[in-house]
Amino acid sequence: MALLTPIFSRESGVPERVSLSLQSLLCRRGFSKSKPSAIARISLHLALGLWFCAALPGWCAQPIAGELAGRLQRHVRTLAVDIGERSLARKGSLQRTASYVESCWKALGLVVATQPVPIGRTVVENVECRLPGDVPGREVVLIGAHYDTVRGCPGADDNASGIAALLELTRLLAASPRPLPVRFVAFTQEEKLLLTGHLGSRTYARSARERGDRIRLMLSLDTLGFYTDAPLSQRYPFPAGGRSRTGDFLGFITRTQDERWLERVCALASSAGQLPVEGIAASEELDGIAWSDHASFWDQGYSALMVTDTAMFRNPSYHHPADTPDTLDFARLARAVRLLAQVVEAVASPAPASR
């Protein structure tokens, strides 16, 4: 049996950057080509500055990229700078992070619950937010992200970016009712601890199955903030291959059994027109396919996908102290959030899922 099914790739429809000669621009404004005036020189400097910001967005101050990008940046800085490493090794860091997530959801007027996750003598928590209409027996769409990090790492991309996206998706989707409710969960202890990982999501998924929760689809948001236009910046796990060798796309990953969900979600994501999209359905044995909280839901018989910038296959700071907020592209992270909001709106429609 083949290890991989074909990779989905579809362009987002985002127009390519249009370049304009600065000299031509100045001439159109009536400035002389031979003897530029002081006004022309000032205009040239301003034009160069604007071109530089457009060509190299990562070099510019991110807060000006938009209100959503600014909120995402503040979340990431709170998690990766103010709190920093979020692990059992740093006393109180997981509790502070859970409290921050809880406070953000309560500020929206939403009901928040916690689920204890015991680890030896220590108890940490999953944090859950249910939107109105999420009652026993109703089908739901579940969005999750882990908030912990490996030791010695501030975890801006892994996974403050995912938690920031989770919080802002809640803000966007809580603003209006939809046919099916959406549930949000911040998981603890995704990172490997001793010989096991995904402890928080395994605890949650097992409880969901025991309750009889009807989860139409689970989306795991894991590393969403690192993008680059550099050639050959994108790698793939062997023996998989992708159509793009540039790390500028948002990836959707799942097992072969959920390939139809992958096709639907990738089509929805592509039609949103925010970012290029790539998807892969593969054997769970392939490196990276089961490396996040979505795998815990597979184990309980639920359909689930991971949404990612591909982490170690793109970001050189993965699981490293250099995984800091200044390495992230908050403008493109904001596009990813808008894209995901449209995907969830469509998935949370009353039509039955195709199987």
The predicted structure's pLDDT at residue 243: 76
Q: Is 24 exposed, middle or buried (0-12, 13-18, 19+ CB in 10 A)?
A: exposed
CB-based contact 25:297 (threshold 8 Å): no
Cα Rg, the chain, nearest whole Å:
22
Please give the chain's pLDDT, 355 residues, in tens: 233 444 445 444 443 322 222 232 223 233 333 444 554 444 444 444 444 444 443 334 334 349 999 999 999 999 999 999 999 999 999 999 999 999 999 999 999 999 999 988 899 999 999 988 888 889 999 999 999 999 999 999 999 999 999 999 999 999 887 788 999 999 999 987 655 678 899 999 999 999 999 999 999 999 999 999 999 999 988 777 667 899 999 999 999 999 999 999 999 999 999 999 999 999 888 888 888 999 999 999 999 999 999 999 999 999 999 999 999 999 999 999 999 999 999 999 876 544 4
CATH annotation of 8-15+63-347: 3.40.630.10
The two tokens of residue 191 are 């990172």
Closest to 168 measured CA to CA, from 86, 253, 225:
225
- Burial class from Cβ neighbours inside 10 Å (0-12, 13-18, 19+) for residue 21 reads exposed
Burial of 9 (0-12, 13-18, 19+ CB in 10 A): middle
Which pLDDT score, from 0 to 100, does residue 63 have?
41
pLDDT value at position 215?
Answer: 97
β-strand pairing of 139-146 with 250-255:
unpaired
In sequence order, the 6+-apart residues with CB closer than 8 A to the CB of 284 are 255, 290, 295, 298
- What is the Cα–Cα distance from 23 to 34, expressed in whole angstroms? 11
pTM for this model (two decimals): 0.81
pLDDT, tens digit (0-9, with 9 covering 90-100), for 83-123: 999 999 999 999 999 999 999 999 999 999 999 999 888 99
